[in-house]
Structure 1
Amino acid sequence: MTADGLPPLRAVIERHGLFAKKALGQNFLLDLNLTGRIARQAGRLDGVRVIEVGPGPGGLTRALLAEGAAHVVAIERDERCIAALEEIATHYPGRLEIVAGDALKTDFAALATGAERVKIVANLPYNIGTELLVRWLTPESWPPFYESMTLMFQREVAERIVARPGSSQYGRLGVLAGWRCEARIAFDVPPQAFTPPPKVTSSVVNIMPRRQPFPASVEVLSRVTEAAFGQRRKMLRQSLKALGGEALLEKAGIEGTRRAETLSVAEFVALANAYAGESGQPPKEAPIAASPPEAAPRNRTAPAGGRGAGARR
C-alpha cells in the first residue's frame, strides 16, 4: 500500500489490464510524488471542486483528494479505467464523481454549478489539450467558471501559451492566453516519468484568469489573430488584406509593415475592435481599457462554464 492507503499505480494498471492505448495517446504518470507536486501547484484545495480531464488509473485524482480537494469531478473516456476510479471513489466516500464520456462534448460550466470555488487540474491528453484550453479561454462571458487552471502540456505547447511578443513561439495561442489570463510554466516533467515514455518533455502550466481583460469580441479577436498568424512571415498589410489591410491597420494605429509576432495583446485587441466597427460587429464589451489587465485574485468566488478524455495522465 502507498501513503494514501491505496495500491501502487503499477499494481492497479496490471490488475485492470490498463495497457496504454496509442490511439488515445495514453502515457500514464505513475510517480505519486510527482502527481502530488502537480496537485500542490494548484494551491490550497480545501473547499474546492476540482475538474480533472483524463484521469486514467487515477494517479493525479488520488493526489488531488489526498491534498484535500472537497470534490473531484473526473472525466474519463476510456471505459477500462472506470473500475480503477471507482475504487478510489470508495476509498474517498462522496468526494469523487466519475463522468464517463468525451471531454470535448462535456458542459464544464454545468459541472461547476453549485460550487463556490472551482479549479481545473489535469494532465491533458496531447491530442485534445490545445482545443480544450482554447475553449476554456474563450467563453462569451467572463470571468469564467474556474478560478485557476493547472494543466500539463507537451513543452512546445506550454511555450506557445506563455510566449511574449517578439519570440518565435508567440502566436494565436499566446495572444488568446495573454488576453484573458496570466500564464507561467511551473516546472517540466521528463519523458521517463511516464509509462510508456513519450518522445517529448512535458510542462505543467499555471493559468490565472484576469479580472478585467482588455474588452473585445471573442469571435472577432479569434478571426483577426488567425488571419495575422496564418501568414506570419508577411507584413500585416498583406496578411490582413482580407480584413481591410492598410485601412484597418491605420484605424487601429498600427504600421502596416509590421509582422504579427511583433504586436502586443493590446494591439491585437485594438485591431479586433477596429475590425468589429468596420464589419458592423461591435465589441460585445466596453471599449479597450487604458490600463493593463488586472489578474483575478486566487480566492475569488467563481460562478458556475470534445474527442475523448482518455490520454496522457
Structure 2
Amino acid sequence: MSSALDTALDALPPLREVIAEHELAARKSLGQNFLLDLNLTAKIARSAGDLTDVNILEVGPGPGGLTRGILRTAPASVTAIEKDSRCIAALQPLVEASGGRLKIVEADALEIDAIALLPAPRAIIANLPYNVATPLLLGWLRHIQEFRSLTLMFQREVAERITARPGSKDFGRLAIIAQWVSRPTRVVELPPQAFTPPPKVHSTVVDFRALPRDGAQPKFETMERLTAAAFGQRRKMLRQSLKSLGLSTYGLTPETLCATAGVEPTARAEELDIPAFVRLALTLEAGG
C-alpha cells in the first residue's frame, strides 16, 4: 500500500463517529450488524491471502469498517455493493481517501453479476447480511472457478453446516454443494460483542478456494435438485426421499438410480459422501 493511501486512511474519523454523523442505526430488515474494530476487519482482510492486483467485491460495507481493512491490503480495486442509501454518503470520505481504488454501487447484491462487474483476477470479501447469506453463497459457488477466493462471514451455525462432514448432524445440502466445488476453511471466529448491535449468535469467516474440476461432473442444477430431494426428508431412506425427483420421467426408479450409482437405496442422505452424490447426479443426467 502506498504511504499516501495509508496516511489518508489513518486520517479518517472513527467508525462510531461516522455512524453517529449519518445516523446509521443498524436495520434488522437489512440484516445489518456493523463490525467496528479495525484490528478485526484487518484480520479478516488478511485471511483472504495476498490480494495485490486482485479486484475485490464487498457486499454490505455499511459504515466501511471492513472496507478500510480491505483497502490496506493494496488490492487493484474494491467495488462495494450497498443496498442502504443512508450508507452511500457515509462512505464518500472513504472513496476520496482511497485514491480511486474504491467504487460504491448502490444495488441489491442478489441482483449483481460479480463476474460481469469485476475483471479477473477477482475475489469477494464480505460481512454478509445474515438474511441473504445462503442464496448469495450458492450463486457465487455456481461460478467459483471465476474467483480467486471467497472470504465470507456467516452465522457460526451456517459455517458449521458448510464445513460439516458426512454422517454428522450438520451435513446437508450446503456442505455437499460447497465442498463439491471448493475447499471451505474456517479462518476467523467472532463473538457477538464484536458487532454493533451485537447479534444473538457467534460469527465465523469462511474462506473458499475452487477445486480443480477433474473427471466427469454433473451440472450445478442437477446437484441442487438431487440434494434438495435427498435432504428434503433426511430421516427417510433414499428409496423414499428420491421419489420427489419424478424419476419415472427419466425411466428410472429410486432403486435403479441408486443401483446404477453404486449407492444403497436403504441409506439416508447424511450417510453418503460427496462422490456418491456426484455419481447419483451423473446417473440422473444419463437417464434423462
Which TM-score band (shorter chain)?
A: over 0.9
Mapped to 2, the partners of 1:201 and 1:128 lie a distance apart of 17
Name the CA distance, whole Å, in 2 between partners of 1:74 and 1:2: 19
Measure, in 2, the Cα distance between the counterparts of 1:222 and 1:3.
43
Alignment of 1:36-47 (within 5 A): 36-47=42-53
What's the % identity of the aligned pairs? 54
Pick one of 130, 137, 141 that aligns with 2:134.
130
- Deviation, 1:22, is 1.5
Equivalent position to 1:67, from 56, 70, 73: 73
Measure the CA separation in 2 of the matches of 1:176 and 1:263.
Answer: 13
Kindly provide the amino acid, as one letter, of the partner of residue 211 in structure 2. Answer: R
Alignment length (residue pairs): 274
- CA offset digits 1:226-249 (Å, max 9, x no partner): 100001101111111243211110
How far is the alpha carbon of 1:187 from its aligned partner?
Answer: 2.1
Deviation beyond 3 Å, 4+ runs, structure 1: none
1:102 aligns with 2:97: no
1:144 CA displacement: 2.6
Q: Secondary structure at the match of 1:144?
A: helix
Q: Deviations over 1:281-307 (max 9, x none)?
A: xxxxxxxxxxxxxxxxxxxxxxxxxxx
Contact persistence 1:35–1:59 (CA under 8 A): yes
* Mapping 1:216-255, distance limit 5 Å: 216-242=218-244, 243=247, 244-255=253-264
Whose RCO is larger (CA < 8 A, sep 6+)? Answer: 1
| Residue 278 of structure 1 pairs with residue 287 of structure 2 | yes
Write the letter of the residue equivalent to 2:129.
P
Correspondence for 1:306: none
- Is residue 160–residue 169 contact of structure 1 (8 Å, CA) maintained in 2? yes
TM-score (norm. length: structure 2): 0.92
Given residue 128 of structure 1, which amino acid in structure 2 is its aligned partner?
V
How is 1:130-209 mapped onto 2 (pairs within 5 angstroms)?
Answer: 130-139=134-143, 144-209=145-210
Q: 1:119 aligns with which of 113, 118, 123?
A: 123
Q: CA offset at residue 213 of structure 1? A: 5.2
> Which residue is equivalent to 2:93?
87
More helix, by proportion? 2
Rounded to whole Å, the distance in 2 between the matches of 1:219 and 1:207 is 20
Q: CA deviation at 1:99?
A: 0.6
In structure 2, distance between residues paired with 1:146 and 1:112: 10
**Aligned residues of 2:148 and 2:210 also touching (Cα < 8 A):** yes
Change (3 A) 1:2 1:160: farther
| Counterpart contact for 2:8–2:97, Cα < 8 Å | no
In 2: Cα distance, 1:101 partner to 1:128 partner? 14
Counterpart CA distance in 1 for 2:146 and 2:181 is 13
Unmatched tracts of structure 1, length 5 or more: 280-313
| Contact 2:58–2:125 (CA under 8 A) maintained in structure 1 | yes
The answer to whether the 8 A contact 2:9-2:97 is kept is no
TM-score, with normalisation over the residues of structure 1?
A: 0.85
